[in-house]
């Protein structure tokens, strides 16, 4: 009787378990809906392509057109990790990393999802365009620039979210 070494059995089993643990969880309908809403708002702000039902530009969105890297403040939502833009890099950074980048590279604009609420076939999304202000700028006595943004109510029609109302637009 031939004996197989224990590692010959355990190693493949361990690799199989590890691969399963690292696999992405299946995408839930809720997550798909949230990704679609965030993506629509992101494309409006950065690319100037408003969601269906909106006919105005995103407040000061033109200021992002020259950016090749778009920073989004990480709010912990798995939906944010799935955002993308053609020809651009989308980076999620926490507030500390946003400050550190401003201190090393200078002031820049980033996006922050302040609210994403889904309830059945309705949703509200609030997206802000915010200045990351470096310590050098703050120490120089210049006033930090304020933010701008939009809050939109959406209605699910079939498989598509349509903006039913622009609830708020703000800019300095």
Q: Three-state SS string across the chain, please? A: CCCCCHHHHHHHHHHHHHHHHHCCCCCCHHHHHHHHHHHHHHHHHHHCCCCCCCCCCCCCHHHHCCCCEEEEECCCCCCHHHCCCCCCEEEEECHHHHHHHHHHHCCEEEEEEEEEEEECCEEEEEEEEEEECCHHHHHCCCCCCCCEEEEEEEEEECCEEEEEEEEEEECC
Average pLDDT over residues 73-83: 97
Over the stretch 24-38, which tens digit does the pLDDT of each residue have? 556 799 999 999 999
pLDDT tens for residues 122-166?
999 999 999 999 999 989 988 667 899 999 999 999 989 999 999
- Give the residue-averaged pLDDT of 86-106: 97
Q: Looking at the predicted structure, is the pLDDT value of residue 23 above 70? A: no
């Amino acid at each position: 009787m031939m004996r197989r070494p224990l590692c010959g059995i355990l190693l493949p089993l361990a690799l199989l378990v590890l691969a399963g643990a690292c696999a992405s969880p299946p995408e839930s309908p809720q997550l798909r809906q949230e990704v679609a809403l965030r993506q629509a708002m992101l494309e409006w702000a950065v690319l100037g392509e408003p969601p269906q039902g909106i006919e105005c530009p995103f407040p000061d969105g033109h200021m992002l057109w020259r950016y090749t890297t778009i920073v989004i403040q990480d709010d912990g939502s798995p939906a944010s990790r799935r955002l993308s833009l053609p020809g651009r890099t989308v980076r999620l950074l926490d507030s500390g990393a946003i400050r550190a980048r401003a201190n090393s590279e200078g002031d820049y604009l980033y996006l922050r999802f302040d609210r994403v609420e889904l309830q059945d076939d309705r949703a509200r999304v609030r997206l802000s365009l915010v200045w990351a202000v470096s310590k050098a700028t703050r120490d120089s006595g210049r006033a930090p620039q304020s933010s701008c943004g939009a809050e939109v109510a959406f209605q699910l029609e079939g498989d598509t979210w349509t903006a039913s109302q622009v609830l708020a637009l703000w800019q300095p």
